[in-house]
Amino acid sequence: MNILKHYRKIWAIEHAQSLLGWDMEVNMPKMGITERSVAKGELSVLAQSLTLDPKFLDLVEKASALETLNDYEKGVIRVLQREIKIAKAFPPEFVRELSEVRSKATMAWSEAKEKDNFRKFEPWLDRIIELSKKAAEYLGYDEYPYDALLDLYEEGLRTKDLEPIFEKLEKDLKPILEQILEAGKISNEHPLEREKYEIQAMEEVNLRILELLGYPLGVKGRLDVSPHPFTSGFGINDVRVTTRYEGFDFRRTLLAVVHEFGHALYELQVDERFMFSPIARGVSLGIHESQSRFWENIIGRSKEFAELIYPLLKEKLPFIRNYTTEDLYAYLNMVRPDYIRVEADEVTYNMHILLRYKLEKLMINEEVKARELPELWNDELERLLGIRPKNYKEGILQDIHWAHATVGYFPTYSLGTLLAAQIKNYILKDMPDFYEKITTGEFAPIREWLKQKVHRYGSVYSPKELLEKSFGEGINPEYFIKYIKEKYLD
């Protein structure tokens, strides 16, 4: 109890930090970054000092030696020991600098992307690379500096774990993509991409879809607009999602909303007994991404979901009356090499992550400067997908992650994408009428199954322990390869 009583102060700072970050993306005027970056930096240092309070360290150390701990208590101690290790590793001045650079780099990235001018972001990216290298050295590693950063986002993940997975994906997916494109049976473009929509009407569609899926709008959640769609969890009872509206190609915003719902649902369905504790959140970004990709790909791109939402789309978007449900399904499942990761289809998506994974390894393990990255990016995309970006927006400036200094984050997108296909296999065994439930909009049993298998545990177990406990195996790319072959070739 004393441990959680002390931790509540740390939790309160993290809660405030999350709210400040959400506001920075959604509401804050540009000039607000000056004070905001300093405030976030100081709060980061304050949280670190509370984490390293000698009395708190002593409590955690004594508790870790107890042999009578239950799984919940063991989870609390495991997570706290990780947080303490990180807090001990980073000097306060480094924590402050990193927080301030993140805030300013985010604003620089936003302006650079808007003006398609990489030079505005380049000096900030150089600072991010250097700070990321410093972080790896502070944290320590056995083999590669990059491993230290991977572990921040996926507990226990190492380069040696990722190499065989990405080798398998590149080896198997490239010929599958070639077969799909050669066969010409799957659409690689669709007239719905060019249809323009009214933003207010599309917002109404998104809100209705969120309600349909079971998102507690106005009670525990809300939908806002940001340059890059994201989910912010402030606690089990306040998890917010964002999307963006471009006025055309409505699947971009629709699938983004379904994707972010998956993230939000995970946080909302953590066991309420864990509230205010260090385990009241998703265990890792890979597991988190498996939830968002499950809702986006397995459900959101299914024929049954297309049939379910077709009447709503026809009601709110007049041009839909010119198309059939088969058109809608084909539109949601187009396959083609494209520049933008968040708009990539299921077949090519992992190639986008492979590109970023390779560049991040170069950034952290080798001596690569920001000025070299745009050309390296373009060369690798051309090698993997046969296309070359025509500008920075289509290339290196499309993602916000490096501005946030989250180097090591990207591989978790692939882990989650692969795991989503595994979860489909598991849920069909327990729920043979899974797709029939989508047809009728009966999502409560699906939410409950996910809660029992993944969500309720929060961070009680490590990612590998959770997968073994709930599914009896770790991440296996064979399920995803099989899923892609069956869906797009058979």
- Return the pLDDT at 127: 97
Domain limits at 284?
159-488
Q: Within a domain: residue 122?
A: no
Whether 228 has a binding-site annotation, put simply, is: no
- Return the pLDDT at 40: 92
- Return the pLDDT at 43: 95
Mean pLDDT by 10 residues, the chain (490 residues): 93 96 93 91 94 97 95 97 95 92 93 96 97 97 97 96 97 96 93 98 98 98 93 97 97 97 98 97 97 98 98 98 97 96 94 98 94 98 97 95 96 98 98 98 98 98 97 97 95
Whether 404 has a binding-site annotation, put simply, is: no
Q: Could you tell me if 337 and 455 lie in one domain?
A: yes
Among 257, 298, 267, CA closest to 431: 298
Rounded to whole angstroms, the Cα distance separating 409 from 152 reads 8
Q: What is the pTM of this model?
A: 0.93
Look-up of token digits 């402050």: 96
Q: Within a domain: residue 152?
A: no
Contacts of residue 33, defined as CB under 8 A and 6 or more positions apart, other chains included, come to 24, 103, 104, 107
Number of domains in the chain: 2
Q: Could you tell me if 111 and 164 lie in one domain?
A: no
CB 190 within 8 A of CB 323: no
Q: Could you tell me if 163 and 93 lie in one domain?
A: no
Q: Could you tell me if 301 and 194 lie in one domain?
A: yes
Q: Which residues are catalytic?
A: 260
Rounded to whole angstroms, the Cα distance separating 449 from 447 reads 6
Q: Within a domain: residue 456?
A: yes
Whether 6 has a binding-site annotation, put simply, is: no
Q: Could you tell me if 70 and 15 lie in one domain?
A: yes
